[in-house]
Amino acid sequence: KRDRSLLCVVEWPRDIIAFERTGEFSGVYHVLHGVLSPMDGIGPDDLKIAELLKRVKKGDLKEVILATNPNVEGEATALYLAQLLKPIVPKVTRIAHGLPVGGDLEFADTATLSRSLLGRQVI
């Protein structure tokens, strides 16, 4: 049984498979079918953003999780969506980014290390 008050926004259908493998997410998904990419001529009208907004407005959502990739296009898409969603959803969150399990600190880039510090949790 899925928690319909929790919506995870992903780029592609294959991203759902990745989340489902974890067994940690019990909500529902919305697939954008891409990300914003002005360099490639992909704008908001080329993605499933209008459908997302319609779905959010008619649903009884408690939280929308933005789960786009941690690259320039994914971050831009998440920020754009957050601006649209914050006025109509009680809670808009972004998935955490950081170091992979088994990764070595010395090989991590500065953006990844910065995010791992910002996303730290109490243990």
Kindly report, residue by residue over 100-117, the tens digit of the pLDDT: 778 887 888 888 888 888
The model's confidence at residue 123, banded by pLDDT at 50, 70 and 90, is low
Question: 3-98 sits in which CATH class?
Answer: alpha beta
The rounded distance, in Å, linking the Cα atoms of 59 and 53 is 10
Kindly report, residue by residue over 4-19, the tens digit of the pLDDT: 999 999 999 999 999 9
pLDDT surpassing 70 at residue 46 = yes
Reported in sequence order, the residue ranges of the chain that DSSP labels E, i.e. its strands, are 3-10, 27-31, 63-66, 92-94
pLDDT surpassing 90 at residue 99 = no
The model's confidence at residue 87, banded by pLDDT at 50, 70 and 90, is very high
pLDDT surpassing 80 at residue 121 = no
Over range 26-43, report the average pLDDT. Answer: 96
For the chain, the domains span 3-98
